[in-house]
């Protein structure tokens, strides 16, 4: 019998379905809209269809992410810190530090020898050091977000961006462009700046091998390289870095069932009909 | 030529606008304000020419110029230079002799200064790291709401129920604004919410210089009645605002030229 994990982030909603052997049956990533509840159901239905399953067949459904309370059909809501840690423990048992770079926040999570959360730090107060910083600047430069990584790797040096604040950095980037700096050097400079901010934050936890980078930021090879340069060794990146929270959520559902917890199917159905 | 017929000019080069003031015996004889545009040099010459023309003076009748603000190294005329905060302090001192704290909310930076009864700087802080609490924050939100800058203040004052922002970050507030609009929030309530968020940030800066009344608010922020009220509420004091809030540093620069301050730059 399968398990589902659903992770509603500020930018993306992720769903993963796993079987009894914790093998992935289906996964879906879609944008989080303003209407979390309808979207959660839509993305879930899409995943169910892909796996040829119905909601009733699931042994356990766990929701996570900042929109987790908007998933009425979930059996449990668990924080994303716990879910990320659980997902990473199954993918990389040697991981001690997780750096998660999301659309609207960035986090550092320290794991103990058993893969449990020992400590964490988070920035959700300021757009600098989050995906939003790169999103805003990519728009200013007229570049797609997923091209930033490759573009920055072409640079042999980087243009120092001295403003931390996204709003001021946007201005600075325009000035550097008008002074003739190349886009690749500017993008490399932006990665340098955001990596510095993130690594400084995570240093509070004490950086240890292995470091895993997750979230949308992990899909940016330029940013990953800049972080690796700062920590002084190579980092691990999951094959689909957006899905680790959802994976952890699904696995936690399995853990619950192993401990004898059973879902309330009636409550689950009510949750679905309420928002249909 | 006697002292009475001597004229002095102050030129203030800001990131958004360039201002000039012409004084005679501390009286403001003429002023001009233009957008900074691509060339500070050309704009500085333009404002200076304009105040001279308004007063019907030839350039040689000018007994001294003090320039302040950004980029004052590339001026087309000889001038002494003095830091903008010193000019601001002196301008506010002459306009409001009771002033002890000056808050300047400009297009990009917010500054707070404690000043002596003689108009000298006693303490000074500037926020340059973060757009929250700067004029840029308001510009960003006003653009989404499609509200003209001059309408922000009057609109905000109509608010009955200011929106509570969960963030101080200008970038996050931008997306929050979009969500609030989708939820049906009114423009005046959003603006009043932004004013409160900004005022909280400004108040932190002002408290760190150990604010003393009277408090004067200058810069473009002084033209925004909603912001002035929010800053007053956040600090729990009445705020004094010059008649021309963006001109006070240029006026102070001209007054400092008159008393022979500053070092010659070229």
Q: Is residue A227 part of a domain?
A: yes
Same domain, A63 and A98: no
Same domain, A200 and A144: yes
Angle at B178 between CA B176 and CA B179, to 5 degrees: 65
Give pLDDT, residue A90. 94
Of B129, B171, B179, the CB nearest to A136: B171
Q: Is residue A87 part of a domain?
A: no
- B151 Cβ partners below 8 Å, 6+ apart? none
Give pLDDT, residue B265. 43
What is the torsion angle, in degrees rounded to the nearest 10, for the CA atoms of residue B73, residue B78, residue B84 and residue B89?
170
Report pTM.
0.79
Of A34, A125, A168, the CB nearest to B169: A125
Q: Is residue A88 part of a domain?
A: no
Chain A within 8 Å of B27 (Cβ-Cβ)? no
In CATH terms, the superfamily for domain B1-83+250-266 is: ATPase, nucleotide binding domain (3.30.420.40)
Contact B172/A132, CB-based, under 8 Å?
Answer: yes
Chain B within 8 Å of A127 (Cβ-Cβ)? yes
Contact A165/B172, CB-based, under 8 Å?
Answer: no
- Provide the shortest C-alpha distance from residue A133 to chain B (in Å): 8
> Could you give the percent of chain A with pLDDT greater than 70?
95
Average pLDDT over residues B3-15: 84
Angle between helices B170-182 and B187-208 (to 10 degrees): 160
Q: Is residue A209 part of a domain?
A: yes
Chain A within 8 Å of B25 (Cβ-Cβ)? no
Contacts of A127 in chain B (CB under 8 A): 169-172
Measured distance CA(A131)–CA(A172) in Å, rounded = 18
At A58, which CATH number?
3.30.420.40
Chain A within 8 Å of B168 (Cβ-Cβ)? yes
Of A125, A136, A168, the CB nearest to B168: A125
Same domain, A24 and A67: yes
- B183 Cβ partners below 8 Å, 6+ apart? none
pLDDT band at B264 (very low <50, low <70, confident <90, very high): very low
Contact A168/B169, CB-based, under 8 Å?
Answer: no
Chain A within 8 Å of B179 (Cβ-Cβ)? yes
- Start and end residues for every CATH 3.30.420.40 domain found in chain B: 1-83+250-266, 97-241
Contacts of A167 in chain B (CB under 8 A): 131, 136-137, 140, 170-171
Whether A63 shows a pLDDT value over 90: the answer reads yes
Of B131, B172, B179, the CB nearest to A104: B172
Residues 20-39 of A with CB under 8 A from B: 34
Of A125, A133, A167, the CB nearest to B136: A167
Reported as a single tens digit per residue, the pLDDT across B236-254 is 999 999 999 999 999 999 9
Measured distance CA(A104)–CA(B171) in Å, rounded = 10
Same domain, A39 and A154: no
Whether B226 shows a pLDDT value over 90: the answer reads yes
Number of domains, chain A: 2
Contact B171/A166, CB-based, under 8 Å?
Answer: yes
Contacts of A132 in chain B (CB under 8 A): 171-172
Contact B108/A132, CB-based, under 8 Å?
Answer: no
Same domain, A218 and A161: yes
Chain B within 8 Å of A132 (Cβ-Cβ)? yes
DSSP A112-158: -TTS-EEEEEEE-S-STTSHHHHHHHHHHHT--GGGHHHHHHT-SS-
Contacts of A163 in chain B (CB under 8 A): 129
Of A127, A164, A168, the CB nearest to B172: A127
Chain B within 8 Å of A122 (Cβ-Cβ)? no
CB count, 10 Å around CB of A215? Answer: 27
Contact A165/B137, CB-based, under 8 Å?
Answer: no
- Provide the shortest C-alpha distance from residue A144 to chain B (in Å): 19
Chain A within 8 Å of B130 (Cβ-Cβ)? yes
Q: What is the average pLDDT score of chain B?
A: 89
> Could you give the percent of chain B with pLDDT greater than 90?
61
- What strands, in cross-sheet order, belong to the sheet with A211-214? A117-123, A106-111, A97-101, A211-214
Average pLDDT over residues B93-117: 93
Chain B within 8 Å of A1 (Cβ-Cβ)? no
Q: Which two tokens stand for residue A258?
A: 């192993």
Q: Is residue A238 part of a domain?
A: no
| Torsions phi, psi for A161 (to 5 deg) | -100, 110
Average pLDDT over residues A184-197: 95
Average pLDDT over residues B30-38: 88
Whether A214 shows a pLDDT value over 80: the answer reads yes
Give pLDDT, residue B208. 92
Of A65-74, A111-120, B116-125, B207-216, the poorest mean pLDDT is in A65-74
Same domain, A130 and A227: yes
Q: Bigger pLDDT: B142 or B234?
A: B234
Same domain, A20 and A53: yes
Residue A124's domain comprises: 94-231
Same domain, A154 and A223: yes
Whether A217 shows a pLDDT value over 90: the answer reads yes
Contact B170/A166, CB-based, under 8 Å?
Answer: yes
- Provide the shortest C-alpha distance from residue A154 to chain B (in Å): 29
| Residue A242 Cα to chain centre, angstroms | 5
Give pLDDT, residue A276. 46
Residues 92-111 of B with CB under 8 A from A: 108
Contact B66, B261 (CB under 8 A): yes
Same domain, A99 and A218: yes
Give pLDDT, residue A271. 66
Average pLDDT over residues A120-141: 91
Is the N-terminal amide bond of A210 cis, ω within 30° of 0? yes
Contacts of A165 in chain B (CB under 8 A): 129-131, 170
Whether B203 shows a pLDDT value over 60: the answer reads yes
pLDDT band at B178 (very low <50, low <70, confident <90, very high): confident
Q: Is residue A259 part of a domain?
A: yes
Q: Bigger pLDDT: B7 or A45?
A: B7
Q: Bigger pLDDT: A272 or A134?
A: A134
> Could you give the percent of chain A with pLDDT greater than 90?
62
Measured distance CA(A255)–CA(A250) in Å, rounded = 9
Whether B32 shows a pLDDT value over 60: the answer reads yes
> Top-level CATH class of B97-241?
alpha beta
Give pLDDT, residue B4. 61
Average pLDDT over residues A139-168: 91
Q: How many residues can be counted in chain A?
A: 276
Give pLDDT, residue A262. 84
Whether B73 shows a pLDDT value over 60: the answer reads yes
Chain B residue with minimal CA distance to A135? B171
Contact A109, A100 (CB under 8 A): yes
Whether B180 shows a pLDDT value over 60: the answer reads yes
């Amino acid at each position: 019998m399968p398990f589902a994990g659903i992770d509603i982030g500020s930018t993306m909603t992720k769903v993963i379905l796993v079987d009894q052997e914790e093998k992935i049956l289906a996964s879906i990533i879609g944008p989080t809209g303003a209407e979390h509840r309808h979207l959660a159901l839509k993305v879930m239905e899409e995943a169910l269809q892909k796996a040829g399953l119905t909601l009733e067949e699931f042994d356990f459904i766990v929701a996570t992410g900042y929109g987790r309370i908007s998933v009425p059909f979930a059996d449990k809501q668990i924080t994303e810190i716990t879910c990320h840690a659980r997902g990473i423990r199954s993918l990389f048992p040697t991981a001690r530090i997780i750096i998660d770079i999301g659309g609207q926040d960035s986090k550092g999570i320290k794991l103990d020898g058993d893969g449990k959360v020992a400590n964490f730090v988070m920035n959700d107060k300021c757009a600098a050091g989050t995906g939003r910083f790169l999103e805003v600047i990519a728009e200013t430069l007229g570049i797609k977000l997923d091209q930033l990584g490759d573009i920055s790797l072409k640079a042999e040096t980087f243009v120092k961006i001295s403003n931390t604040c996204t709003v001021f950095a946007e201005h600075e980037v325009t000035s550097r462009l008008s002074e003739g700096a190349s886009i690749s050097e500017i993008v490399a400079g932006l990665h340098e700046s955001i990596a510095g901010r993130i690594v400084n934050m995570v240093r509070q936890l004490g950086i240890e091998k292995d470091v895993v980078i997750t979230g949308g930021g992990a899909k940016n090879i330029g940013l990953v390289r800049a972080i690796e340069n700062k920590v002084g060794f190579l980092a691990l990146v999951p094959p689909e870095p957006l899905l680790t929270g959802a994976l952890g959520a699904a696995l936690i559902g399995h853990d619950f069932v192993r401990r004898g917890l059973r879902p309330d199917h009636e409550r689950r159905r009510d949750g679905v009909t309420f928002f249909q | 030529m006697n002292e009475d017929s001597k004229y002095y000019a102050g030129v203030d080069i800001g990131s958004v606008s360039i201002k000039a003031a012409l004084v005679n015996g501390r009286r403001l004889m003429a002023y001009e304000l233009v957008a900074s545009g691509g060339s500070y040099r050309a704009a500085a010459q333009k404002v200076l020419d304009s105040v001279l023309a308004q007063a019907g003076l030839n350039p040689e009748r000018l007994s001294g110029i003090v320039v302040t603000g950004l980029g004052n190294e590339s001026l087309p005329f000889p001038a002494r230079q003095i830091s903008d905060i010193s000019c601001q302090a002196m301008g506010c001192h002459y306009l409001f002799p009771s002033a002890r704290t000056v808050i300047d909310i400009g297009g990009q930076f917010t500054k707070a200064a404690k000043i002596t009864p003689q108009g000298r700087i006693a303490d000074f802080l500037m926020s340059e790291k973060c757009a929250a609490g700067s004029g840029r924050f308001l510009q960003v939100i006003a653009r989404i709401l499609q509200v003209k800058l001059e309408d922000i203040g009057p609109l905000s004052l109509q608010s009955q129920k200011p929106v509570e922002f969960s963030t101080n970050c200008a970038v996050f507030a931008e997306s929050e604004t979009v969500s609030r609009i989708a939820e049906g929030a009114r423009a005046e309530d959003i603006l009043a919410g932004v004013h409160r968020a900004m005022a909280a940030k400004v108040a932190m800066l002002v408290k760190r210089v150990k604010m003393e009344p009277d408090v004067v608010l200058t810069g473009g922020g002084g033209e925004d009645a909603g912001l002035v009220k929010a800053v007053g509420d956040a600090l729990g004091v009445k705020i004094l605002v010059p008649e021309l809030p963006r001109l006070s540093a240029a006026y102070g620069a001209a007054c400092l030229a008159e008393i022979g301050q500053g070092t010659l730059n070229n």
